Amino acid sequence: MLLLLAIGASLVRGHKGTRVGFYSTTCPQAESIVSSTIQCHFNSDHTVAAGLLRTHFHDCFMRGCDASVLIEAAKTQLEAVCPGVVSCADILALAAHDSVVLVNGSSWAVPTGRRDGRVSLVTDADNLPAFTDSIDVQKQKFSALGLNTQDLVALVGNLTLFSLTKAGKVL
């Protein structure tokens, strides 16, 4: 379920041109820097995992897909090693992956190569599925993004992960 959720989160506002190993020549340390940063934060607070996965989903749904306060630590380290190379959108995607792995979820190869969004509209928030939305409304919102019912189940299922880790339970 976590694997489906994370892969589905990567599909929201799909990014053309992404591929596994995008930074292999321009910044080979990118994935390990993000991973060690997330591991450090996770060791201090296990709820970070669910929060990052949720942030990745919500930011991408609203065309932001480019950062959060916690991601800033990884961005600072990456800028010291590979200035101007790794996007915040990819840092967030890698961090979401690492969060799933840290709560004993599956691992997968993360396609990278996203560019940071240049558009972030508050009106896009109306398109986020709300817990008060009926199934039909949620299906319509997902369909508008080219996602299907299976994607809906996987992505909205992150609320379970989020709720359990907020309650102090690590899956």
Instruction: Provide the percentage of residues in the chain whose pLDDT is more than 70.
Output: 67
Binding residues for Ca(2+): 59, 64, 66, 68, 160
Q: pLDDT for 55-70, tens place per residue?
A: 666 666 655 555 465 6
Q: pLDDT for 72-87, tens place per residue?
A: 888 999 999 999 999 9
What is the pLDDT averaged over residues 112-134? 76
d(CA 171, CA 102): 9
Instruction: Show the domains of the chain with their CATH numbers.
Output: 2-166 (1.10.520.10)
Q: Which residue has the higher pLDDT, 48 or 143?
A: 143
Whether 15 sits among the annotated catalytic residues: the reply is no
Distances (CA, A) of 154 to 12, 17, 108: 12, 24, 16
Q: Which residue has the higher pLDDT, 145 or 87?
A: 87
Give the model's confidence band at 9: pLDDT under 50 very low, under 70 low, under 90 confident, else very high: very low
Instruction: State which H helix or E strand residue 115 sits in.
Output: none
pTM of the complete model: 0.59
d(CA 171, CA 169): 6
Binding residues: 59, 64, 66, 68, 129, 160
Of the residues 41, 56, 58, 97, only one is catalytic, namely 58
Binding residues for substrate: 129
What is the pLDDT averaged over residues 36-56? 79
